[in-house]
Amino acid sequence: MEILVASFNNHKIDELRPLLPGHRLLSPAEAGIEVMDIDENGSDYFANALIKAKALYGKAAVPTLADDSGLSVLALDGAPGIHSSRYGSLDGSKKLSDGDRNQLLLQVMKDKHERRCAFYCCLVFLYGEERYLAVQETCPGILASAPAGKGGFGYDPLVFLPELGKTVAELSPEEKNSVSHRGRAGRTMAAMLNSLLEFNMTLRSNA
């Protein structure tokens, strides 16, 4: 199936492609859609993912997959959460780089002993008017005291996974896909898409 990914973040698209084998994932650029501002004014990951899916589906009218993800820190009552990509710039100031956001978060957390955190990922697959599949997964960890690792993107250098003894940024792409919030959500979404295709084929054969 050809699927438009409702994201202008190529890192996300690159991570999603191997998670959905048998499907061709298109970036907005590959579908002829220019970068656009989407008002992500939802109250949770699902709401924002659905907003993005609808915005891009309306442009191309092809099945669209949207990802909304972020890092929630227990000691900060879940922040940055749904504002993870805009952390430090919600007042309208220039968007911070990944490195600057990481340093800001470490500064805010410097005197905090509670370091538990979790990545969240919600995927929404929109394939018709108000017809969609959705799944949300997490990847729990501990907020490190300093960045470590060169892989991944975003907050990956800050999230330490005790069971692996590494930050997410220190994992190989294969390791990351096996344990990450996006990897888990992507595998579940792949199974759901396959079930949807089988169901539709059964309907057609019985028509």
> Does 45 have pLDDT greater than 70?
yes
Output the CA torsion 178→47→30→154 (10° steps).
-50
* pLDDT recorded at residue 200: 76
> Does 61 have pLDDT greater than 90?
no
Listed by start position, the domains of the chain span 2-206
Q: Is the dihedral of CA 103, 121, 91, 34 positive or negative?
A: positive
Reference 14, options 184, 190, 148, 177; nearest CA is 177
At 157-181, the pLDDT tens digits run 999 999 999 999 999 999 999 999 9
Distance CA 108, CA 46 (A): 27
Task: Identify whether the C-beta of residue 124 lies closer than 8 Å to the C-beta of residue 134.
Answer: yes
At 114-171, the pLDDT tens digits run 999 999 999 999 999 899 999 999 999 999 999 999 998 999 999 999 999 999 999 9
Task: Identify whether the C-beta of residue 136 lies closer than 8 Å to the C-beta of residue 122.
Answer: yes
Is CATH 3.90.950.10 the right assignment for the domain spanning 2-206?
yes
> Does 5 have pLDDT greater than 70?
yes
End-to-end CA distance of the chain: 22
At 176-203, the pLDDT tens digits run 999 999 999 999 999 999 999 887 778 6
**Mean local confidence (pLDDT), 102-110:** 97
Kindly report whether the peptide bond that precedes residue 18 is cis, defined as omega within 30 degrees of 0. Answer: no
* pLDDT recorded at residue 203: 66
Contacts of 40 (CB under 8 A, 6+ apart): 48, 51, 52, 68, 82
Enumerate the active-site residues: 68
| Helix boundaries (H) for 109-206 | 173-179, 181-206
Buried b (16+ CB within 10 A) or exposed e, 172-185: eeebbbeebbbbbb
Distance CA 27, CA 4 (A): 6
